[in-house]
Amino acid sequence: MLLARYIQDDLIECGCDEAGRGCLAGPVYAAAVILPSDFQHPFLHDSKQLTERKRDLLRPIIEREALAWAVGVCTAEEIDEINILRASHLAMHRAVAALSIRPDRLLIDGNRFTPYEGIEHHCIVKGDGKIASIAAASILAKTHRDQEMLRLARLFPEYGWDKHKGYPTKEHRAAIAEYGPSPHHRLTFKL
């Protein structure tokens, strides 16, 4: 399936998506991606619909061919402090702020967003399966976050983050019950 722009005009569109919102541990990551208007790749789709191998193959292609891209992060501590929705939006704001090109329009995966510095935005439910730049952002957010969770898994191997990346699996909950929460667990979540 070929994904497209949101509006066919000359404005600079930037897709934004996050990864790790539903996890019990680790940061939430967001990416902002500005693609050339003619960018296409046969694998480009919502990161959740792709295998890890396809995501890892697409990441360097997106990073090389995007007009601009950036990743923003909110730590588990920040998530506990301001809540996961606000932290997801803050991570997106950080990603947009880090772009080398200021976009004219933000395309947000989902149904809510905190406006960013006067830039027009559109919330698109399941946008990562409809809009090329959001799909690209979903892939960058997911692969960058997975890379960080693999790094943290080497420091805290008892939690199995190398397998489930901090999501609430049975194995993860059993490890929390046995070892207690790590410094990277979100203490306001039901662990």
- In this predicted model, what pLDDT tens digit does every residue of 61-83 receive, in sequence order? 999 999 999 999 999 999 999 99
**What is the band of 2 on the pLDDT scale with cuts at 50, 70, 90?**
low
Mean pLDDT value across residues 6-19 = 93
For 74, 148, 151, the CA distances from 158, given in Å and listed in that order, are 23, 16, 13
Radius of gyration over every alpha carbon of the chain, rounded to an integer in angstroms: 17
**What is the band of 191 on the pLDDT scale with cuts at 50, 70, 90?**
confident
Question: If residue 120 lies in a helix (H) or strand (E), which one and from where to where?
Answer: strand 120-124
Give the domain 13-179 fold.
Nucleotidyltransferase; domain 5 (3.30.420)
Whole-prediction pTM: 0.96
Backbone angles phi, psi at 137, to 5 degrees: -65, -40
In a 13 Å sphere around the CA of 77, the CA atoms on its Cβ side amount to 2
Across the beta sheet with 105-109, what order do the strands follow?
68-74, 28-34, 13-19, 105-109, 120-124
Q: Where are the domains of the chain?
A: 13-179
Percent of the chain with pLDDT over 90: 90
pLDDT exceeds 70 at position 1: no
pLDDT of residue 179: 97
pLDDT of residue 38: 87
- What average pLDDT does the chain have? 95
Residue-wise pLDDT for 21-46, tens only, equals: 999 999 999 999 999 988 989 999 88
Q: Tokens for 73?
A: 């992060």
pLDDT exceeds 70 at position 103: yes
